Chains A and B, each alone.
Chain A
Amino acid sequence: MTGMVSERPKRRRQPPLPAALDRRFEAVVFDWDGTAVPDRGADASGLRDLIEQLCEHGMQLLVVTGTHVGNVDGQLGARPAGPGRLVFCVNRGSEVFAATQDGIELLHRREATAKEDAALDAAAEATVDELARRGLQAAIVSQRLNRRKIDLIPEPAWEDPPKSRIGELLEAVEDRLRRAGLAGVREAVALAMDAADRAGLSDARVTSDAKHVEIGLTDKADAAHWAFQELERLGIGPSLVLVAGDEFGPLGGLPGSDSLLLVPEAQRSTAISVGREPTGAPAEVLSLGGGPERFVTLLEDQLERRRRGDVPDIDGASTWTISVEGLDPRLERVHESLLTIADGRIGTRGTPLLEHSDADRAVLASWAYVGEGAESELAQGADWTALRGRLNDRPLSRRLDLRTGLLRQSGVVESIQFSSRSRPATTVLRAEGAERQFPAADRRVVERPRVVSALSDTRRPGWLERLAAYAPDRSAAREALAAAERTGFESLLAEHRRAWARRWETADIVIEGDAELQLAVRFALFHLMASVADDGEAAVGARGLSGRGYRGHVFWDSDVFVLPFLAATHPPAARAMLEYRLRRLDAARAAAVRLGYAGARFPWESAGDGFDVTPALAHLPTGEIARIRTGEAEEHITADVAWAAATYVDWTGDEEFARGPARELFVETARYWASRVRFVDGRAHIFSVIGPDEYHEPVDDNAFTNVMARWNLRRGAKLVESADERSSWLAIADALVDGYDPMSGLYEQFAGFFGLEPLVIADVAPRRPIAADLLLGRERTVAAQVLKQADVLMLHQLVPDEVAPGSLLPNLDFYEPRTAHGSSLSPAIHAGLFARAGRFREALRALRIAARIDLDDLTGSTASGVHLATMGGLWQALVFGFAGVSPRGNTLIVDPRLPPDWGALELCLSFRGSPLRLRIHRGGVELDAGDELELRPRDGIWEVVFK
């Protein structure tokens, strides 16, 4: 429950808030002495109550002060319960503590080495000696953690001057220094810096508060760095932060101590000074004056905003925000797909809250399908976003914060909504506007096939908070809703932001030098993360949870394109995807048996029961009704599923999985291929299949299918118990034809491909990508060397060890000009392969197409959902292609190809349980990771290895 602010003495009436402060902040980073309290002896009990209540309402408060924790905590004595935290960044940036209900907890400490401690002593003594040499008596007055303090005016009159006498103090110290022939405090600082340098402290922090000179290893800037990084870890961007101090302006020719709070990470935050600022505050600081009283007023205002339920804002950083201004009837459904918020279990399209005829609302549940066979589709829950009334042509602005998964809508209604990353299948909406736009408070349970939705509204005039929980059954939905209600909006928001921030810590990619691509990449990563659950089983449809397209059916898209990203950034989600396949292994076995084969054969399209749900017919744009044969012939999916399991094991080293469920998967899929091949003239063949290039069907000995089957057989042979089977599979693998011609270095895509009409797409098409089957007509397409997407080249992407060394370039040169890129999967794969070949112009062109497929609706079908596999392909292009990252046992290989226009490429990954950040730049590669990993160069490449 929210308590009341304790009684405080009445204060002067405060001036109205400047516009920059007339808003809700999510965090306050503030100086202590002179900002929060007048001095260290002041009564802070009122402030304590205020801070505890702010924390209870979700505000993050970070005190940055030079003093030690005992001083500030002794004075404040706050013991907040959260969800907001009170953090003390003390000892000039050397220590960080959290104040909790249980007391003070150390979060971070900079420990000086013995050598550094000795150097600090030496520097302080040298400074005192130098001052003495000039006739000025000074004294080392404290040897605190990581710093030494020298009193420039050790006189009784100035033993402990209050902040309010800073001007007089400065004058007295300057006078004293001038009498000793020094130019002032500035020169005293310069002397200390020289001394520190001579003592071997090249990065010493030398500061002055007018009375003292301090030589330290850290200062307030280090505290500010930590504070903003911590806020980023909480999902709070700088524009949501208020920075408060009282000494930003220069003092004695030196920058004010609080100016150190304005670190680069603080850019876009709002900085205020409540101090006197005798020399004026810097332009970027709003100078309010008024001292601690003014500061407390601001905190009270923030508390009031939280009590009345103001709608929080999002950070709005340009490379983290997808913004849609207005409502274009033609593009509305595309925009709703782009703005989808999801938590792996529930996905909600970014529709306006008010009704609009061009909107397409949907709340999709990932755990269940309804309907049968080809008609089966993702189940849907009750809508939780609709308010009352029509939007019509009134203003609307929607912004999706990719960093936190928060959708902020503005216009007639101000709102924030999220699908909780920390408790999937729970959604939260807070909105304010005119009373007529809000329905009466409602509490209901809606039962639909396989999805129960429990919703509850909390209402005040012109204000609504709506929680919803979704589950397969009624009791689970109601329990989840009750738990969310007990937790409350602020805690739900805090845990959601934090959960998203944690995901980004091992997933973000930074491209220096291309802001547009940067945003597009984060947009893709966001949807990849949002679409997949962390536990249980995860059926990942082609459009994720962003639309009804493809009915939520699962294709190789999820195994080959999406899963690698998750294996390398968040393995539990990859494991959940594999669990989806494993739980349908019996169906795959049954499918193989039905066709007269052994082992397990996975379906081209999969939904609830694991049997093939590929529609038999398609209505082509030409008006024709075409028979769809992918379900019966695009068999490489079986090897693709096994490849996905291997990829997961490669990245995670999950031995338990490898020895257990994965073993069965590898063996059963290999067993399928062993029974599927036919021997002719001593060679093994796979007849009548469809490869990734779906323009030609059916074909014999598709190189991709055969080589993937070969890889699958060899992988299975390592694990199968029967020696007979093992030797048989290895023999079959060796006998499988792969169409490789050592003379030309080319793989023939399938038997007879080289005999088709030679055709280069640029000669017949006005542009690429293009649907060549529509352009040329089916007959000519089938008879020509024209590809829908990478086929042979997919082998170089997936199983480079299974193809002939050096075969990438000849095959890239031969096949790419023949590729129409008529599949949205194609550009990203080629981008990565061109990057490996060092052909940056072509690589970047393909990369940009892949990056814009949904943002520019290049397929004309983004309205039905985003293209998740393309997004996975985009990640692979950057990580496997440009960065050249690949796992080899316990080593992560890094063999980068950095385009000239990029300053650097940074990747956040998780390798075998260890998070790491790689920075690839012109000068080489840098690794930022825990103590267990190190980076070492080797033969022109780099290796990340365990120590």
Chain B
Amino acid sequence: MNKVIAALDTSLAANPVLRTAVALAGALGSEVEAVHVTVDGDRVARSAAGAASVPYRTASGPVVERLIEIGRASDVVALVLGARGSPLARRPMGGTALAVATALPKPIAVVPPEARVRDHLRSVLVPLAGRDMEHHTPRAIVALAEGEELDVTVLHVLDELSLPSFTDQPQHEDEARVSEFLRRYCPWGIGKVRFEVRIGRREDVVPTVVDEMNADIVALGWAQELEPDLTPVVRTMLTRSTVPLLLVPVRVTGARELVSSAPAGTISG
């Protein structure tokens, strides 16, 4: 059976990491395994796993390399880590989480220490910038919405840069624009996913909507680079939000199911 790995350390995040892993595994129909890469003892991790009745094992060696190695196993479908970075740090994810997330091409859930985590995921929020091809709605998340008990909402936040230039006749224009937006950035269809558009700065709007809809987790499609466009949202989610952040790698080349590698269409005279 597939596994969700809960990567525990000795910090206060161990419990919310475990609970997130359990909830995520429930949604994915997977098992959970807790892993601690021993640095200076594993008492906190071991007891947390025991309390959650989650299988537990330790590994030794460099933390990042070992977690990546564990994550690469074919039966691992996601990895859950704690965010340890200082809220004011330039990289709010913390060195370990960032290094693993950028190197491992699998969904990584990053959990703030004070995260509020439910036992079962009921609501997922997917913010979507819709500027570059990297910002696709992760297909796996859309698939999750097909289940009966999980609400998935794709949130497109229009900021000053992405605000439409024209509104013409809104009774026709908005329908056309939304339809085209979804074909571009959610090309496999959104199934049962709800689509919402808000206006404002993403780092302001996303936490607000998280609260409004009482979301359990925020899922972001990303190209495994903490590019400038993504950073404010990630930083905000990990510093101001109390829900875990699930980073889902979206391949930008290769398989057509994500983004075509065909030559870009160009118009010329």
Contacts and interface: CB of A to CB of B under 8 A. Distances in A.
A-B complex is real:
yes
B88 interface: no
A626 B170 contact: yes
Given A767-B165, A771-B163, 11 more contacts: A319-B269, A326-B265, A329-B260, A393-B256, A393-B261, A621-B199, A771-B164, A771-B167, A774-B158, A859-B177, A864-B176
B160 A324 contact: no
Interface stretch (A186-194, A549-557, A923-931): A549-557
B183 A630 contact: no
18 contacts: A319-B269, A322-B267, A324-B265, A328-B262, A358-B187, A392-B256, A393-B262, A550-B169, A621-B178, A623-B196, A769-B165, A823-B167, A824-B168, A860-B165, A860-B177, A861-B177, A863-B176, A864-B176
Interface string B157-200: 01011011111111111111111110110010000000011110
A615 interface: yes
B264 interface: yes
B163 A770 contact: yes
Interface of B: 133, 158, 160-161, 163-181, 183-184, 187, 196-199, 256, 259-269
Nearest to A555: B169
A822 B142 CA distance: 33
A771 B165 contact: yes
B170 A622 contact: no
Interface stretch (A222-230, A331-339, A588-596): A331-339
Contacts of A325: 263, 265-266, 268
Contacts of B187: 329, 357-358
Contacts of B183: 333, 358, 863
A858 interface: yes
Nearest to A515: B269
Contact of B133 (A319, A330, A549, A770): A330
A619 interface: yes
Given A621-B197, A860-B177, A324 B169 contact: no
A769 B164 CA distance: 9
Contacts of A324: 265-267
A824 B166 contact: yes
Contacts of B133: 330
A328 B262 CA distance: 7
Nearest to A319: B269
Contacts of A551: 172
Contact of A621 (B164, B180, B267): B164
Given A324-B266, A326-B262, A773 B167 contact: yes
Interface in A296-349: 318-319, 321-333, 335, 338
Contacts of A328: 260, 262-266
A628 B177 contact: no
Contacts of A861: 168, 173, 176-177, 180
Interface in A855-870: 855, 858-861, 863-864
Interface in A757-812: 765-767, 769-771, 773-775, 788
A614 B171 contact: yes
Q: Is the interface of A mostly helix, strand, loop or mixed?
A: loop
B125 to A, nearest CB: 14
A944 interface: no
A357 B262 CA distance: 13
B262 to A, nearest CB: 4
A118 interface: no
Contacts of B262: 326-329, 393, 396
A4 interface: no
A254 to B, nearest CB: 39
A766 B160 contact: yes
Contact of A618 (B166, B174, B256): B174
B265 A622 contact: no
Nearest to B196: A623
Contact of A329 (B163, B171, B259): B259
Contacts of A327: 260, 262-263, 265
In the A-B complex, the 3 residue pairs with the smallest Cβ-Cβ separation, listed nearest first, are: A326-B263, A328-B265, A864-B176
Interface centre among A322, A626, A863 (most CB of B within 10 A): A863
A519 interface: yes
Contacts of A770: 163-165
Contacts of B176: 549-550, 861, 863-864
Nearest to A516: B269
Interface string A811-838: 0000000000111110000000000000
A617 interface: yes
Given A392-B256, A774-B158, A615 B266 contact: no
Given A621-B199, A775-B160, A550 B167 contact: no
A764 B175 CA distance: 27
Contact of A860 (B170, B180, B196, B199): B180
A542 B261 CA distance: 34
By CB atoms of chain A within 10 A, which of B158, B172, B180 has the most?
B172
A358 B163 CA distance: 24
Interface in A590-645: 614-615, 617-623, 626, 628, 630
A100 B96 CA distance: 86
Given A773-B167, A822-B167, A858-B165, A620 B174 contact: yes
Contact of B174 (A329, A621, A775): A621
Given A330-B133, A860-B177, A771 B269 contact: no
Given A329-B260, A771-B164, A860-B181, A621 B158 contact: yes
Nearest to A768: B165
For A319, A622, A821, which residue has the most chain B Cβ atoms within 10 angstroms? A622
A608 B106 CA distance: 54
Contacts of A321: 269
A823 B166 contact: yes
Contact of B171 (A392, A618, A825): A618
A553 B172 contact: yes
Contacts of A516: 269
B167 A774 contact: yes
A323 B266 CA distance: 8
Nearest to B269: A519
A550 B172 contact: yes
A859 B166 CA distance: 6
Contact of B197 (A338, A396, A623, A864): A623
A621 B195 CA distance: 10
Contacts of A619: 174-175, 178
Contacts of B167: 771, 773-774, 788, 822-823
B263 A318 contact: no
Contacts of B174: 618-621
Nearest to A854: B267
Nearest to A766: B160
Contacts of A769: 165-166
Interface in A225-273: none
A90 to B, nearest CB: 38
B265 A332 contact: yes
B264 A326 contact: yes
A618 B170 contact: yes
A323 B269 contact: yes
A711 B160 CA distance: 41
B151 to A, nearest CB: 16
A109 to B, nearest CB: 39
B127 to A, nearest CB: 14
A767 B163 CA distance: 10
A525 to B, nearest CB: 15
B171 A615 contact: yes
A211 B262 CA distance: 63
Nearest to A547: B176
B165 A822 contact: yes
Contacts of A550: 169, 172, 176
A827 to B, nearest CB: 9
A628 B183 CA distance: 26
A550 B260 CA distance: 29
Contacts of B256: 392-393
A766 B161 contact: yes
Interface centre among A335, A357, A618, A621 (most CB of B within 10 A): A621
